[in-house]
Structure 1
C-alpha cells in the first residue's frame, strides 16, 4: 500500500499512527505486538553456515520453545519485532546485513500493509555480533565511576548497530546488586542505586544518540531473588522496591530518555512483574509519565502460565500481560497470537488494550522512519559496506574503559612490577582471554554452540600481554588448575614455578557462560563466595612457598578474599575487562597505567554470612554483638588504591540549616599528595541518624572522578537538593523529613575523613515524581 497518510513523514507522528490504527484489522493490530526469532531454530531457516552443537542455550528454557512458524506465516498479519538476526549465528557483516534485508522483505511481502519490523539485538558488552568489539562487562562500567566514558562507549555501540539495520538494543541492565551469589552480577553496574542510575542514564544517552532505542532491564526486582537463584521468587516489601530497586530506572528514563523497558522474570511477594498492572501502568506510565514501549523478557509471558502459574494457559497469560502493560512479546509470539484475537472477539479482553499497545509500538516505528514511504530494507543496512565492527577506535575505547575499571585493592609490597626479576604466572585466567569477557559477549554467548568457529577478534591473554609489557623479563607460565572442577594435578608445576620466581602472579576467577555452562553469567549462580573449583587451594599452595604472590581476580562477582588478606603481596580486582583486558591488566601491574578503578560492590571477607551489600540499616551493616556473623567487608564499596596518594579535607558547608524544600552545597579539597599523576573518585554520602523508618547507615549521594597532576589540588563542590534525602515513609509515600543529616565525604564507604551536619527545617514534605534525582558536581582547580 502506497500513498497512505501514515507514510507521510511531514505529518505529526500521532496523526500518522492514528490513521494507521484506523486502517488495521484486529488481527493486524495484534500482529504488531509479536515477534519472530529464526535464530532459536539453530539456523534451520537461516543462512547456510556451520552446524550448531546441541545443548547450548542462549535464553532461559530455549529448548522448550524450539519450534516456530515460518517467517512468512508469522508475518501474515504483520510483525512487531525481528529477534537477534546478528546475535544468533556466526555471520559476517555482509551475511548479517543480507539476512536483515531478507527477513524484512519477507515481513513486508507477507502482510497486507507491508510494514517492516523493528530489529532488536543484545548489546550489553557491545553489539552482540560475530567479530564486534567486546567491551568490559557492566560491572566494570560501575568500577570506572565515569559516566562520560560509558556514554562514549554506548554511542560507539549504537553507531555500529544502526549502520547494520538494528533499531533497538536490549541494554542496559539496571538491576541493583543485592546478593553477590547471583550469576548476573557481572551484567549489573553495582550495588548502589545512584551509581547504577547515573551510569545507566549515561549509557542510554550514548546508545540513543546513534538512533538506537535503549531498553532498561529488568523491571523490576530481578537481582533480589531468594538465595540468589536465577528466576527465584523475591521477598521484598514495597519500600525497599521503591528506595533501592526502582530509582535507577527512574533516572535512566528521566535523565537518559530511555524509550523502552523490559519486564523482569521475578515475582515479588507473589506477583510476577509481567502481570503487575501497578508496576507497568500505575507507576511507570501514570506516575513517571513513560510513553515508550514495554517489551517482555524472552518467553516471560508464557512463563506466567508454565512457571508462575498465575495463568491457566498461554492465552490467559497474554491477556494478563497485556492488561498489566506489556506492549510487545519477545522473542516469539506465544501469548499475543490468535488466542488473544479470539479473547477480544469474545469480549474477554478489551480491544482498547490492544490499541494501546499497538499505538505505542507503531509510534516507535514512525519515529524510527520505518513507516516512511521511501524506507526500504536495503536502505537500513547501507553501513554494511563501510562499518568495521572491531575498529581501532573501538579498541582504543575498550582499552581506556578496561584500564579505568581495574581496581587496585592493595598494592602490598610487590606492585608495580617494573624492575622485577623472574615472574611466574599461574591460574586459569592467565592464558584464556575468554575469561575477560562477559556472558553476553558473542564469543561466550553464541560461539560455544559452534565450537569450530573462532571469535574473529584479537583477544590477547594476560600472559601474552605481560610478555609484551615487560620485554626482557623472564616470564614462565603454569596454569595450576581449571576455573572449575577438582583437578589439582597442575598444582605441583605451578608451585615449582613460584618457588623459582621473584614474584608470582595468580590469575583466578570466573569463566562466564549461560545456564550452568560457566561460573558466572545468566543462570550461573554460586552456592558461596569462595573462588570456584580449587582455585583458592591453588592460591594457598602458592602462598605456602613463602614467595611473593600477587592475586589478580578476573571475575563477574566479588569473591571473598579474607583468607589471602595480609598474606598476598598485592590484590587486584579486574572483574571482566573485555577484549583489551590483557593489556590493561598488564599495564596496571607494570605501573605504566595508573589504576583508578573503584569498587562498585564490596569485597567480602568471608565466603558466607553477609547480608549482601553496603546499603543496609545498622542491624544489617554493623557487627553489634547480636550475632556471631560479622558483615564487615574486606574492602568497602568505593574502595580503590593508586600508585600515588590522595588527601580529601577542608570540608565546607556554608549553610547548615536548610528548609526541607531547599538545597545545600558541600565542598572539599582533594589533593594529589604523591609523585605521580592520577585520578581519585571523591564520594559524598549522607546518613540519616533518626527517621520514621530504618534507614541505611550511609548512602551514596554524589561522586566525581577527578584527574590531578602530582602535587595538584582541586575543590569539589556538590550541590545537594533536599530531594536527595527523600525516602519512602510508613504510608509508602516518598518524603523529606526535617531533622539532623550527617554529611560525609571521602574515597570509599569506609574512608570518610570529612564529616559535617546539616539540619533540615520545616514540615515533612512529599517528594513526588518530579523530584531532583541527581547531585550536580563542580570541580575547580585549587589555588596553589
Structure 2
C-alpha cells in the first residue's frame, strides 16, 4: 500500500507536507542534520576540521543513535578516507538500506560530497581549480565538465555537490583565492552559472557558497570579519549568486562562516530569508558551512549555548546543520519542547528538506538503495577517458602566457634546457586544496595519487624528446644551457599546512619557500629564464618582470596540467588563457582590484602604485590579432532598451589561435564612484590564419545599472562608453552610447548577461 507522500503524481511540496504531518518532533529534527561516518571531527589527525574547538565534538551522536528517527544527510562517504570506489559504492548502498529500514517511513539519507575540482574521491578525475576555470573564459566547457562530474557522482549514489564557490576574489593573500573564479563579478557569475547548469542537469543539487561576502575578509584572513558597504555587496558580491540561482537553477545555498558588519551570516535573517527567499524567491535548502551553527556559540559568541545557536540559525533560515548533528539535535529538541523555539520554524525547514528528497526520488515507493552503476553491473570508473579529455581541454585553455618579450617561447625542440625549482618534478603544484590527494591523501603518505599524472619535468621531457634537458639544483649548474625553465609555485593544503588553500593565508605576495631567491640567482647567470608559475593565487612579479625571457601562469591545472603547460611551452598549444585576477606589481599593495574607481587608481596623492603588473583579462598568444571597426547599431538607447555593438577581429599571424574579446562599460558620471572599466561581456573567438570574425554583443541598458545602497539598482539617462578590450588595461575600440528616457529602478529580475556571437569568414 502506497502512502500519499509516495504519490509521484503530486507536487514535491504536497508530498512533503503529507509526510511532515505524520512526523514526531524527533523525526522532524533528524531530517535537519547530517552524520559524518569515519571522521573524528576536531581531532589532530583530521586536516579538514583540526582547528575547530573541542566543544563542537561534545554531544555529537553517531549514525546508530540517529537511525530510529531517520537521517537528513550523509556527509562525504567518498571524500573522507581513501577507499576503492567500487567498494565504497557498495558500502554506501548498504548504509542507505540500513538507514531506510531503521525509520518507520523508509526514508534514506541525502548524500553530499565536495566537487570543487571534480568529485573529491580517490581515483576520480582531478580537474583544474576554479581559478583556472576563470582563466579559460569558457563557461560552455566548464558546464560540460560539470555535467560529467555530476554524472559520475549520481552513478555511485551521491545527490548533492558542495560547489561552486561564487566568492569574488578581493585580496589574493586570502588562501581560498584558488577556490574562487576570479576578481570580476560578471566572470564569476557566468562561469559559475555554467558549472551549476552542468551539475543540475544530471540531477545533482548544486550548492552555492559561501553566502555571502566570505572573500572580502579583513586582512585576507580565513573566517575573519567582513566590513563592506551595501553597494559593494550588491554590485560585486551578490551578482554571481543572482545569476546562478536565476539562470543556473541551483537548489541549495551554503551559509558562510564570517560575520558581515558584525552579523554572522549563519544568523542573518535579512540575508538568508528576506533577501534570498522573499526578494529572490529561492525555494531550495540553505545548509550550514561545516560547524558554522556551532561557531555562533564558540567563535562568534552571539549565542551562549548550542540551543541558542540552533535558534539563531534556524530563525535566520539555515535548514540543515552540517557536517554532523550538535545544535540541531538534543539542544534544539529541548528548546522546542520548552516553547523557547517555535515548532513552526522546524516545520518550515523540514518541509524544504523533504520537498528536495521528493524531487530526488528518495520518497518514491520504488526507491532503491542500489545506485545506478551497481544496478547496471558496470565497473566503477571515476576517471574515464572522456573526463580526462575534458580535464585536458580545460587545463590547456586556462594556461596564461603573461610575457614573451624575449621570444624564448615556444622552446627550441632541440635546445639545451635547464630545469630548476623545487616543484619541477612534483605533482603537488598541479593540485588545489580540495583535490583528494591534497585534502585527504596527505594524511596517507603511503597512498598513490590515484590517477595518472605527470610532473612538469616529465611532461616537458615527453613533449620535447630531442631536447637536452638537465635538472639543476643550483644557479651555477646552468652553464651551457640555452634557457632555464624555472618552475615556481604552491603546495596547497588546509589550515596552515600549505602555501595556498583554506586557512593558508599569506601576509604578502612574495613567492613562497624562498623560490624568489632562487629566481634571483638564476637571473644573475645571464642565461635566459622562462618562469613557469603553478600556483593557487597570483604572486607579485614586479621585481623580475623586465628580466624574464618569458613567463607562463597556470592555476593548479589538475591531473592533465603537466601536459597542458608543457604543450604551451613547446608551442603545440597556442595559449588562450586570460587572467581572472590581476598579477600584482608589488607584494604589499593589497587589497586592490581593477574594479577600483578613479580614486582607487594610481595617482599623485599617494606614493604607492597599486595597479597590477599584468591586469585582469591579460594574456598573450603565439599569433597576432587585429581589432577594427568598433560600432553600435545606434548612438542613443532608451533606459529600458537594447542594442547591438561589435567589431571585427582578424588573425593576422601565421598560426591558428583564439582571441578573447572582452567588453567593458565605462560610466563617466554617476551618483556613486564607479569602476573605471567593468566587464559586462566576453567571448572566445578561434580563428585560422587570415580569417576574420564579426563579433557582436547584445547590450541592454540594465547592464549599466548600479546600486544606490538600498537593494535596488539604478539605470539613469546619460553618456556611457562601451570599450572593447584585450584586457581591462588594453582597450582596442570604443563606442559612445547615450541612454535616454526616464530614470529606472530595477531589482533581481534585471538583465545580467550580455550575449555574444561571432560570424567567421575568410581563410
1:466 aligned partner: 460
Shift of 1:75: 2.6
CA distance in 2, matches of 1:386, 1:289: 42
Normalization by structure 2: what TM-score? 0.97
Residue matched to 1:729: 708
Aligned counterpart for 1:239 among listed residues 225, 231, 252: 231
After TM superposition, the structure 1 = structure 2 runs for residues 660-739 of structure 1, keeping only pairs within 5 Å, are: 660-739=639-718
Distance of aligned partners of 1:56 and 1:451 in 2 relative to their CA distance in 1, 3 Å threshold: farther
* Mapping for residues 511-522 of structure 1, pairs under 5 Å: 511-522=491-502
Task: Measure the CA separation in 2 of the matches of 1:633 and 1:597.
Answer: 17
What does residue range 153-192 of structure 1 map to in structure 2 within 5 Å? 153-192=145-184
Aligned to 1:29: 28
Find the counterpart in structure 2 of residue 432 from structure 1. 426
Q: Does 1:398 align with 2:391?
A: yes
Moved more, 649-658 or 248-257: 649-658
Q: Counterpart of 2:309?
A: 317
Deviation at 1:672, TM superposition (A): 0.7
CA distance in 1, matches of 2:751, 2:443: 47
1:420 & 1:671 partners in 2: Cα distance? 32
> Which residue does the alignment assign to 2:474?
494
Residue 573 (structure 1) aligns with:
553
In structure 1, distance between residues paired with 2:749 and 2:328: 34
Q: How many Å separate the matches in 1 of 2:474 and 2:388?
A: 33
Match of 1:146 in 2: 138
Q: Are 1:59 and 2:49 an aligned pair? A: yes
Between the aligned partners of 2:593 and 2:430, the Cα distance in structure 1 is 24
1:14 and 1:581 map into 2 onto residues whose CA distance is 45
Aligned to 1:525: 505
Q: Is the 8 A contact 2:12 2:359 kept in 1?
A: yes
Could you say which residue in structure 1 is the equivalent of 2:275?
283
SS at match of 1:596: coil
Q: Which whole-Å CA distance do the structure 2 matches of 1:60 and 1:353 have between them?
A: 32
Once the two structures are TM-superposed, the CA of residue 575 in structure 1 deviates from its matched residue by 1.2
* Distance in 2, Cα, partners of 1:42 & 1:530: 34
| 1:544 corresponding residue in structure 2 | 524
Query: Which segments of 5 or more consecutive residues in structure 2 lack a partner in the other structure?
Result: none
Q: How many angstroms apart in 2 are the aligned matches of 1:83 and 1:249? A: 24
Question: Deviation of residue 380 (structure 1)?
Answer: 5.3
Equivalent residue in structure 1 for 2:64, among 67, 72, 86 = 72
Equivalent pair of 1:158/1:210 in contact (CA under 8 Å): yes
Q: Hey, what does 1:617 align to over in structure 2? A: 597
1:379 is displaced (CA, Å) by: 4.0
Deviates more, 1:179-188 or 1:449-458: 449-458
Structure 2 contact 12–358 (Cα < 8 Å) conserved: yes
8 Å CA contact 1:399–1:580 kept in 2: the answer is yes
CA contact (8 A) 1:85 1:99 kept: no
CA contact (8 A) 2:51 2:495 kept: no
Deviations 1:154-200 (A, max 9, x none): 01101110010000000000000000000000000000000000000
Q: Distance in 2 between matches of 1:461 and 1:123?
A: 23
Structure 1 residues 92 and 193, CA, compared in 2 at 3 Å: closer, same or farther? same
> Are the counterparts in 1 of residues 225 and 260 from structure 2 also a CA contact under 8 Å?
yes
Within a 5 Å distance, the mapping from 1:578-657 to structure 2 comes to 578-620=558-600, 622-657=601-636
C-alpha displacement at 1:730, in angstroms? 5.0
Q: Is the 8 A contact 1:54 1:449 kept in 2?
A: no
CA distance in 2, matches of 1:384, 1:588: 41
Match of 1:9 in 2: 8
Question: Residue 114 of structure 2 is aligned with which of 100, 107, 122?
Answer: 122
Change (3 A) 1:783 1:738: farther
278-287 vs 495-504, greater mean Cα deviation: 495-504
Q: Residues 304-329 of structure 1: CA distance to partner in whole angstroms, max 9, x if unpaired?
A: 11111111111101111111111111
Deviation at 1:100, TM superposition (A): 0.9
**1:250 partnered with 2:230:** no
Per the alignment, residue 415 of structure 2 pairs with 421
- Residue 46 of structure 1 corresponds to which residue in structure 2? none
Q: List per-residue Cα deviations over 1:548-570 (Å, max 9, x = no partner).
A: 00000110000001111110110
Contact 1:517/1:524 (CA < 8 Å) preserved in 2? yes
Q: CA RMSD in A?
A: 1.6
Q: List per-residue Cα deviations over 1:387-415 (Å, max 9, x = no partner).
A: 31111111111111110000000123210
Whether the aligned pair in 2 keeps the contact of 1:174 and 1:248 (CA below 8 Å) is: yes
Spell out the pairing of 1:211-230 with structure 2 (5 A cutoff): 211-230=203-222
CA distance in 1, matches of 2:614, 2:365: 58
Q: Tell me how far apart the structure 2 counterparts of residues 730 and 80 of structure 1 sit (CA, whole Å).
A: 38
Could you tell me whether the CA contact under 8 Å between 1:186 and 1:556 is conserved in 2?
yes
* From 508, 511, 530, the counterpart of 2:488: 508
Q: Give the Cα–Cα distance (whole angstroms) in 2 for the partners of residues 417 and 469 of structure 1.
A: 10
Question: Conserved in 2, the CA contact under 8 Å of 1:30 and 1:336?
Answer: yes
1:348-359 equivalent positions in 2, closer than 5 A? 348-359=340-351
Q: 1:465 to 1:667 in 2, by over 3 A?
A: same
Kept in 2: contact 1:201–1:251 (CA 8 A): yes
Instruction: Quote the offset at 1:519 in angstroms.
Output: 0.2
Instruction: Determine helix, strand or coil for the equivalent of 1:409.
Output: strand
Q: Which moved more, 1:609-618 or 1:89-98?
A: 609-618
The reply on whether 1:387 has 2:380 as its aligned counterpart is yes
Moved more, 372-381 or 607-616: 372-381
Deviations 1:485-540 (CA, angstroms, capped at 9, x unpaired):
xxxxxxxx421332231101000010100001100000000000010021001000
SS of residue in 2 equivalent to 1:508: strand
Distance in 1 between the 2:371 and 2:426 partners?
A: 40
**Residue pair 1:476, 1:497 contacting (<8 A) in 2 also:** no
For the 8 Å contact 1:693–1:730, the answer to whether it is kept is no
1:276 to partner: Cα distance: 0.6
Distance 1:569 1:666 in 2: 38
SS at structure 2 position matched to 1:385 = coil
Please state whether the residue corresponding to 1:741 is helix, strand or coil: strand
* Counterpart Cα distance in 1 of 2:321 and 2:527: 57
Alpha-carbon distance in structure 2 between the residues aligned to 1:692 and 1:420: 60
2:703/2:751 contact within 8 Å kept = yes
3-state SS of paired residue (1:753):
strand
C-alpha distance 732-770 of structure 1, shift in aligned 2 (>3 A): closer
Verify the 8 A CA contact 1:637 1:748 in the aligned structure 2.
Answer: yes
1:17: Cα distance to partner? Answer: 1.1
Shift of 1:670: 1.0
Distance 1:655 1:501 in 2: 58
Residue 558 of structure 1: aligned partner: 538
Q: How far apart are 1:381 and its partner, in Å? A: 5.1
Contact kept? 1:670, 1:715, Cα under 8 Å: yes
Give secondary structure in 2 for the equivalent of 1:757.
strand
Q: Structure 1's 712 and 581: CA in aligned 2 closer, same or farther, altered over 3 A?
A: same
How far has the Cα of 1:54 moved from its partner?
4.8
Unaligned runs of 5+ in 1: 44-52, 479-492
Question: Residue 375 of structure 1: CA displacement?
Answer: 1.1
TM-score (normalised: structure 1): 0.95
